[in-house]
Amino acid sequence: MTDFNPAQSPADGAKPVVVVSEMEPEAKAGLGAWWMVIVLLVCYIVAILDRLVLVMLVEPMKLDLGLTDFEISLLLGPAFGLFYAIFGFPLAWASDRFSRRKVIAFGLTLWSVATMLCGAAGSFLSIFAARMGVGIGEAALSPAAYSLIGDRFPRQLLTRALAIYALGPRLGVAVAYTAGALVIAYSTSLGPISLPLIGLTKPWQLSFIIVGLPGIFLALALFTFREPGRRVSTASLAERDSTVLGFVSENKKLTTLLLLGFASVSVASGADSWVPSYFARRFDWQPLQFGPAMSVISLVAAGSILIKGSIVDWLYSRGLKDAHMRFYTWLLGPAAVLSAIAFFLPNPFVFLGVLCVIQVITMGYLVYMAAVIQIITPLHLRGRMTALFLFATTMGVAFGPMAVGWITDFVFRDPQLVGGSLGIVLTATPVIALVAFRAALPLLPPHIARRGDASRTGS
């Protein structure tokens, strides 16, 4: 697999490569750079909303279509996650060669239409197929977005810019829970209605259609900012025929540990999709009760991502060059302890408080992952390295719901004990991640130094 050749004409719409040092300081980011981050953030929010609206609609879908918990877990996990992961590689390849704005616009349009098609579906297989489309479309977003941000911001502002982009999941979850609860309540009050081309539409189907529609128009906003030139070091030019597999092979231990750690954390992220069902089964709460509370938790966690990003940048500027990884290891231990006790709490409000603390101290793992990738990876491989790590984390997110469902159905054999399943998964995964990341820390300094040497020698 060859890389983009700067000596040739760039692909249609793609920016020419700009040769700079990997660690060379850039001019201070201007308003245009921050506007780009905001647009990408909104795209991320819409992606999470379209991805998670299904979580809010589990109960009416089960009732209407006669689905089992295992079938629901397939829709929550593999239907989306497997195809997101698989198509992440070719779409990341495209983001390394073509206009990243156009790659994102294509994906945004696809996942929005696929979300609306979930509303036109009337069976498990048709919803599964539509969820595949959502996964394929969303796979186009993050590799291209990370590449755009990495090329537009100087190193000292990189984590902060990535932290803003990483608000997407938290804000998306907040929007999904509140908007989902309101849409479900409104749609239920309307009852079944008839729509052109679709016919009789149930309230849960109408919710999918309403949620998917705005993304089609949002794609136009991607062309309100300029696409930055691709920064490639002279070392990258000399190694332009290298591949991701070659880089991973040369750094096998480090990449294995990082992949294991971030995949483990992502399993917990996927398992969270069962929390609404836990509220319904354990506390008999309805979406209008737990939805706003979950939204507030997501917003608080989103704010903490910005604070943690600033702390990491401050630690980095003070000489702690592995701060992007080390800081996260400080948070994982407390998260495991709190997760071990949270699902034994009998009061829903106390549970919400503990859940909020867990979310605040652990959320934003993609920020740390993206920053580490940007620092240790040659510039010309970053898009595909991002896709590799997103493959691992997406498979983790896909496995998370299945792990909870499997423990509930085949170990506890009682749907009411879904909280116990959640407790097991959410306690074990941060412990695994903590062990992996602590083992990876001693391996980071040589890679960081190598990137610094490349900047000083200009090679």
Q: What's the pLDDT tens digit per position in 2-50?
A: 332 323 333 333 333 344 444 443 456 678 788 999 999 999 999 988 9
In this structure, what token pair is assigned to residue 33? Answer: 């750079």
Query: Considering only 163-167, 334-338, 410-414, which range has the smallest mean pLDDT?
Result: 163-167
Question: For position 262, what pLDDT does the model report?
Answer: 94
Q: How far apart are CA 154 and CA 250, in angstroms?
A: 27
Question: For position 27, what pLDDT does the model report?
Answer: 54
Instruction: Reply yes or no on whether the pLDDT at 226 is more than 90.
Output: no
Question: For position 369, what pLDDT does the model report?
Answer: 87
Highest mean pLDDT among 4-18, 234-248, 334-348: 334-348
Q: Which stretches of 98-243 are DSSP H helices?
A: 100-120, 124-138, 141-152, 155-165, 167-190, 203-218, 234-238
In this structure, what token pair is assigned to residue 241? Answer: 């025929």
Question: For position 51, what pLDDT does the model report?
Answer: 87
Q: How far apart are CA 230 and CA 382, in angstroms?
A: 11
Q: Which residue has the higher pLDDT, 130 or 451?
A: 130
Residue 440: CB partners within 8 Å, gap ≥ 6?
254, 257, 258, 261, 325
Nearest to 232 by CA among 24, 373, 30: 24
Question: For position 237, what pLDDT does the model report?
Answer: 46
Question: For position 13, what pLDDT does the model report?
Answer: 35
At which residue do the structure tokens 């729509």 appear? Answer: 195
Q: Are 80 and 128 in contact (CB under 8 A)?
A: no
Q: Determine the average pLDDT of the residues in 415-429.
A: 93
At which residue do the structure tokens 């074990």 appear? Answer: 428
Q: Are 4 and 215 in contact (CB under 8 A)?
A: no
Question: For position 232, what pLDDT does the model report?
Answer: 55
Q: pLDDT band for position 410 (50/70/90)?
A: confident
Q: Where are the beta strands (DSSP E) in 205-337?
A: 230-232
Q: How far apart are CA 376 and CA 341, in angstroms?
A: 37
Q: How far apart are CA 439 and CA 447, in angstroms?
A: 15
Q: Determine the average pLDDT of the residues in 274-286.
A: 87
Instruction: Reply yes or no on whether the pLDDT at 300 is more than 60.
Output: yes
Question: For position 433, what pLDDT does the model report?
Answer: 95
Question: For position 29, what pLDDT does the model report?
Answer: 66
Q: Determine the average pLDDT of the residues in 332-336.
A: 93
Q: How far apart are CA 394 and CA 454, in angstroms?
A: 32
Q: How far apart are CA 403 and CA 37, in angstroms?
A: 34
Q: Give percent above pLDDT 90 in the chain.
A: 29
Highest mean pLDDT among 131-140, 151-160, 283-292, 364-373: 131-140
Average pLDDT, the chain: 82
What are 44-70's pLDDT values in tens digits?
999 988 988 888 888 788 888 888 878
DSSP state letters, 353-368: HHHHHHHHHH--HHHH
Question: For position 1, what pLDDT does the model report?
Answer: 37
Instruction: Reply yes or no on whether the pLDDT at 452 is more than 60.
Output: no
In this structure, what token pair is assigned to residue 34? Answer: 């921050």
Positive or negative torsion for Cα 390, 396, 398, 400: negative
Say which CATH architecture domain 28-457 belongs to. Answer: Up-down Bundle (1.20)
Question: For position 394, what pLDDT does the model report?
Answer: 81
Q: Are 29 and 153 in contact (CB under 8 A)?
A: yes
Q: pLDDT band for position 102 (50/70/90)?
A: very high
Q: Which residue has the higher pLDDT, 36 or 243?
A: 36
Query: Considering only 88-102, 159-173, 256-270, which range has the smallest mean pLDDT?
Result: 159-173
Domain ranges of the chain: 28-457
In this structure, what token pair is assigned to residue 295? Answer: 């939204």
DSSP state letters, 231-255: EE-HHHHHTTT--HHHHHHHTHHHH
What are 304-322's pLDDT values in tens digits?
877 888 888 888 888 887 8
| Phi, psi for residue 232 in degrees, rounded to 5 | -130, 130
Structure pTM?
0.73
Q: How far apart are CA 458 and CA 193, in angstroms?
A: 65
Q: Are 96 and 193 in contact (CB under 8 A)?
A: no
At which residue do the structure tokens 């591949």 appear? Answer: 243
Nearest to 321 by CA among 224, 446, 437: 446
> Radius of gyration over alpha carbons of the chain, in Å?
22
Nearest to 204 by CA among 231, 186, 227, 230: 186
In this structure, what token pair is assigned to residue 352? Answer: 């919400």
Instruction: Reply yes or no on whether the pLDDT at 117 is more than 80.
Output: yes
| Contacts made by residues 203-208, CB under 8 angstroms, sequence distance 24+ | 203/60, 204/57, 204/60, 204/61, 204/64, 205/118, 205/119, 205/120, 205/121, 206/119, 207/53, 207/56, 207/57, 207/119, 207/180, 207/183, 208/53, 208/57, 208/115, 208/116, 208/117, 208/118, 208/119
The amino acid occupying position 256 is: T
Instruction: Reply yes or no on whether the pLDDT at 453 is more than 70.
Output: no
Q: pLDDT band for position 285 (50/70/90)?
A: confident
Q: Are 227 and 99 in contact (CB under 8 A)?
A: yes
At which residue do the structure tokens 């309100």 appear? Answer: 224
